[in-house]
Structure 1
């Protein structure tokens, strides 16, 4: 009997749904583990007003894995215009997730309910049942709390950690048990693509998630960003990205790194529109190998809308190749 490979994808932001859309059409059992430390935009407003886990990243992942017709997915993603005052900037999906969270009294159950309604192929798990706050220490010694504050500081980050947002008694952030079980049973664990400090690490800074990933027998694949981010990863090489991940978890746990080697054409990027990015990530293959990584370097680049993105099909093909190589 054919064993459906179990792939766990961990992250947040805009990169995660891109990979998930491609994996959805593969013969694999997909679990998306989504950060709950976002506090910007519509997610941040809803989080502050009704004390729910921020829904934005969860919404994008649900749509990426949904089998519903295009119109229903577009309605779920629809964002009210800024002239709409009361509803300005809110996505319909964010409001639905928030409403279901109140009805169920629990974000995890709400997302499972919504997964059934949206005909999800796979599983979508918020990493934690409670909103988490991302904290950062910068290289100048200062600290900040809040993902959007950290992003907009445009300062070099030394380390990040998470704390429960409603932390009255100093308790530790905990993952939902289903997340740990999915990681333990995974054949492949995929990190990214996404912001290193604000999309990927918030998940891994939950102690039991870090422990499960480090102890997993699955191949851990990191999809390295194509462009650096202002303040966060200025002048970073691919080896620097991996070094930060390994340092935060206290061991060299990344097995394989996907690195784009196709040059981004000069003058193609519209830095006004894509104002969080700086320049293409530099290469340090020796630095990667020193950390025990297998390096898959290829043309993973897709140019569109004057921005540089990962080519979904090429990334997914390579992920499936890795699975077959490891398990054949």
Structure 2
């Protein structure tokens, strides 16, 4: 199809959600770009950051894993997770490989490109920033909560989300947004996957300035927990638009109708669930739904 050669698509987010979208965009090859959240401080990624510093690699590794189409010794290495209770226990070799390249003074983006080349991944993957930063949230009780895992576990609602410290975006990511025909937000953890890249002011400005691109928000198929789970879809859309400097979301893709939102947003109801895992987006259905909005 000509659309795969003529249209450029950028997806913004992190973790399993962004990986699923990028897998659905695989036919676009290097006309598809993922801008990946780099603020995770939990699990193997958090342990590496605590010991070595640097950006969080876990979401990037997850995206690459979902884009591997040809199983190989290299892909088995990249996906391998150490077992046991020792210092290596729980660490993912892919995270260690990316962190090692970073420590060798290779640009994080160049480290990703080396791994993509090794694993024959065509879709572009760009970290939201090449500088380490963490999430912090202002609670309704006036206190600040620091770190992505702590934000996810907040028992109170939050008023504001910020990055600490403020960091510049990766310039290649801004260029991709400026040249995109379609920009996708979600699915994924709203506060800790979708929002962090949008907290970079240059990202929001780039989305605002690209008036010809369709801005699409993709809903989750299963409910979230923590403070994001207490937010309505309206609140999430308003948060995104505020971060994008008032740019309206053109299309909301989801499985549930939202008649209460129809006056403000164009909501498209479509079957997106995997046949054997109702909480996971089916790659083919997701691809068809996205391509349908680009025609």
Q: TM-score higher than 0.5 here?
A: yes
Matched, 1:312 2:286: no
Give how far 1:77 is off: 1.3
> Which residue is equivalent to 1:65?
67
User: Aligned pair in 2 of structure 1 residues 248, 184: CA closer, same or farther (>3 Å)?
Assistant: closer
Larger strand fraction of residues: 1
Alignment of 1:11-90 (within 5 A): 11-26=13-28, 29-81=31-83, 83-90=84-91
Give how far 1:122 is off: 1.8
> Which residue is equivalent to 2:221?
226
Give how far 1:28 is off: 6.8
User: Aligned pair in 2 of structure 1 residues 290, 54: CA closer, same or farther (>3 Å)?
Assistant: same
Give how far 1:228 is off: 2.8
Matched, 1:215 2:209: yes
User: Aligned pair in 2 of structure 1 residues 156, 195: CA closer, same or farther (>3 Å)?
Assistant: same
User: Aligned pair in 2 of structure 1 residues 297, 246: CA closer, same or farther (>3 Å)?
Assistant: same
Number of equivalences: 292
Structure 1: distance between partners of 2:271 and 2:231 = 19
Give how far 1:30 is off: 0.9
User: Aligned pair in 2 of structure 1 residues 227, 142: CA closer, same or farther (>3 Å)?
Assistant: farther
> Which residue is equivalent to 1:118?
119
Give how far 1:317 is off: 0.4
User: Aligned pair in 2 of structure 1 residues 27, 52: CA closer, same or farther (>3 Å)?
Assistant: closer
When normalised by structure 1's length, the TM-score is: 0.82
> Which residue is equivalent to 1:243?
238
Structure 2: distance between partners of 1:54 and 1:32 = 15
- Which aligned segments of 4 or more residues in structure 1 are displaced greater than 6 angstroms? none
- The answer (yes or no) to whether the contact 1:42–1:89 under 8 Å persists in 2 is yes
Structure 2: distance between partners of 1:199 and 1:99 = 24
Deviations 1:157-199 (A, max 9, x none): 32211123xxxxxxx4211110000000001111111111110
Give how far 1:259 is off: 1.5
Moved more, 211-220 or 296-305: 296-305
Structure 2: distance between partners of 1:154 and 1:310 = 28
Structure 1: distance between partners of 2:234 and 2:48 = 37
When normalised by structure 2's length, the TM-score is: 0.91
3-state SS in 1 of match to 2:280? strand
User: Aligned pair in 2 of structure 1 residues 175, 51: CA closer, same or farther (>3 Å)?
Assistant: same
- The answer (yes or no) to whether the contact 1:226–1:308 under 8 Å persists in 2 is yes
User: Aligned pair in 2 of structure 1 residues 28, 51: CA closer, same or farther (>3 Å)?
Assistant: closer
Alignment of 1:126-275 (within 5 A): 126-164=127-165, 172-216=166-210, 217-261=212-256
Give how far 1:32 is off: 0.8
Give how far 1:121 is off: 1.0
Give how far 1:26 is off: 4.6
Moved more, 247-256 or 187-196: 247-256
Deviations 1:4-33 (A, max 9, x none): 311111100211111211211356711111
Structure 2: distance between partners of 1:199 and 1:101 = 22
Structure 1: distance between partners of 2:208 and 2:272 = 27
> Which residue is equivalent to 1:100?
101
Moved more, 103-112 or 232-241: 232-241
Which structure exhibits the higher relative contact order, with contacts defined as CA atoms closer than 8 Å and separated by 6 or more residues? 2
3-state SS in 1 of match to 2:162? strand
3-state SS in 1 of match to 2:169? coil
